[in-house]
Structure 1
């Protein structure tokens, strides 16, 4: 028999589980997949999740631990698996054809060679407005790597700048699902223009913080590609020369911009509540999996135009080898999130929400931050927190359109605080940024803490001005 934890005991168990997981990965050097899975099983047992499915007297079935683990694992693959594979394949094609270098040149011409961190930060911020941050990072990573070679700046600084830009717009600005769902739940779904405007305004604070943190941490942490490379033996121009003539700007940009445009248009169609055959087609093409599949087709066209179609099989094979470990670790994080959600932790927080009502606009931030840290998904943290707050908006004095919008922003700030081992984005950034997990805690986890606090500071200042 295992001790069944409830209430405060469950929260303490969760905190201990997170500490054990971090120590297992960083100190004992146990593979993240095994560490997360092991902690998930132990936490499930301590939380009292039954070993097998239990059918109650009313006919309802309570999932057993084995079922919960399976659902968490498969659910992650369903939501992000194919997206990561296709996005990585597009990225590999951009690298192999030299298109990534072409795009890097275009960015440098736009913002200047001396500001690569700012360039990739703003690029990520724009891209992630219609695209999930996980997908956006995978898509833009080849450009990041090319810019590192082009400008000889810190790889970690560029990784953090890109991750920050993507994450900020992902949580703050519709049409990403999180802020849209939160706005609808809090009664301002018909005023999304206000949410978009406020999200853009609030983004200024974390963008500034993210830029300076990226510059700072780039001097403190070295990624694997930097540590292994030693001195740069080839100039950027010599690397470009190996590709011969680079592809033109349009065909280089198409594998990235076409999926973004398809997803953005699909979001517009949904927001405008359009109906009919063309609306259905638009929504279908704008599904991330289908949009990235279309982007992959443009990648194949890019390969053909570069006369490298004979390399397509090898490129695909190499891509699958690279993303395999990422997918499995990400799925393990999904298992931990599922165990936590089933354990009753979220329900306990919801039942005791009134304890935090006295702190006003900070309450949504704290609640979302707790949920984000507990189960890993920013979108889940956004939607769950909004659902909890909906009946409390009047009590908290947040029921006016402006304050409701600021509440969405406060929830979003909490929903990015913090990204760690149970968050798929943590593993995407850490693995594609070629960092060890313990480096991920120093970079991605710390950066999301800085972003969250900077965002909440901005929300608080705006609440004083606009109240």
Structure 2
């Protein structure tokens, strides 16, 4: 009966989102309604909502805020455009897909999906016009790279939130996520478009105009600030694994903390940028404003998660799954994928699934791989209830059928490959 009530809650959530309600309001309404229908006392419902919001945001709000600051400073300083220009000139037009893919991965790590898409889409159109290649032939590698970083790599909201909820090591998530992201991005971003899109007969130009670069930062500075958060977190995690003991262990533990790593990255970026301090502070403020609603949606998702845990639904799912003898990693992916198809938003789907998935994290099941499994499931079969679907459709002027055959197929491929990669990693670590 409890699962039927949860299903009813998810259906109501789907209807509210379909009716253009804010996901934050919809999640809060459904959280409280589900708790009451499950027989929880009113006081316990409100306490669960409060605890869920606090426990979710407490460990991640600064990570998201600092990550948004980094992304906005990189965008406003021109570092993202400089990275694009350098990679294009290095790879050449004959290897243009590889350049766009790598650009998407580098830009996608510090920037959120929507911001990265808006920053890179003019580049895609410029390359297509200059080379005669179809826009989708250039655009799919870009979209794939941004999608992969969104699903698998901190400091993006989904992986960060799940790492807190699952008590997973964010440094290990980053390392495992990179192991998944690169091959998946190559398969879905390079080989997939080559299978479905035929190149036109083209005359490649010798040079591509990237616009005025005099005002842009240097290449070394641009790459340094873009990769700084990843490098600091990875260095701390690797150093912690290799260190023999104090004082090195203390130091690596300190810098591997994502809040510390991102704070270091923000401070160094402010110091080395050739911009007035006030402009850098304005960029930081605008960056946080841009993710305010994302943070609130995550908070509301944390409330729903806590309702599912405190009501015992998560334990019920775990008990029902035990006799099935399926991998908890697969079950987590499947639950999240179903919610993704139903609800649309990858972040909302991941957070909604988390309350049912947490009891599956038993001894022998890696919390880090569970984060990546849920992340993979949250990318499955994007369709008309996902804003990313419409963004891709409208920018590339596609029909619904064409969007399903390109964007939806690419997202589904990334999701399935992510599941396979997680299962492979579970055998190796």
The answer to whether 1:251 aligns with 2:221 is yes
How many Å separate the matches in 1 of 2:392 and 2:355? 25
TM-score by length of 2: 0.67
The answer to whether 1:289 aligns with 2:263 is no
TM-score by length of 1: 0.63
CA distance 1:254–1:12, change in 2 (3 Å): same
- Compute the displacement of 1:34 (Å): 0.9
How many Å separate the matches in 2 of 1:411 and 1:310? 38
How many Å separate the matches in 2 of 1:106 and 1:169? 26
Q: Is the 8 A contact 1:254 1:298 kept in 2?
A: no
Q: Is the 8 A contact 2:84 2:103 kept in 1?
A: no
- Compute the displacement of 1:38 (Å): 0.6
SS for the counterpart of 1:352 is: helix
How many Å separate the matches in 2 of 1:198 and 1:302? 29
How many Å separate the matches in 2 of 1:93 and 1:379? 33
Q: Which runs of 5 or more residues in structure 2 are unaligned?
A: 126-134, 198-207, 340-348, 381-385, 395-399
- Compute the displacement of 1:327 (Å): 1.4
1:165 match = 148
SS for the counterpart of 2:376 is: coil
- Compute the displacement of 1:291 (Å): 1.0
2:330 match = 365
How many Å separate the matches in 2 of 1:138 and 1:202? 16
CA distance 1:459–1:270, change in 2 (3 Å): closer
**1:346-403: CA deviation from partner (whole Å, max 9, x where unpaired):** 211222234312xx66x7413553278677259969984764484xxxxxxxxxxxxx
CA root-mean-square deviation = 5.0
How many Å separate the matches in 2 of 1:206 and 1:330? 26
The partner residue of 2:38 within 35, 43, 47 is 47
**1:137-173: CA deviation from partner (whole Å, max 9, x where unpaired):** 53787665443222325798567413433257559xx
How many Å separate the matches in 2 of 1:432 and 1:290? 34
Q: Is the 8 A contact 2:27 2:300 kept in 1?
A: yes
How many Å separate the matches in 1 of 2:305 and 2:371? 19
CA distance 1:415–1:47, change in 2 (3 Å): farther
1:270 match = 240
1:84 match = 64
Q: How many residues align?
A: 375
CA distance 1:215–1:101, change in 2 (3 Å): farther
Q: How does 1:24-63 map to 2 (within 5 A)?
A: 24-26=16-18, 28-52=19-43
- Compute the displacement of 1:68 (Å): 1.2
CA distance 1:450–1:301, change in 2 (3 Å): same
2:128 match = none
CA distance 1:329–1:139, change in 2 (3 Å): closer
- Compute the displacement of 1:10 (Å): 1.9
The answer to whether 1:451 aligns with 2:414 is yes
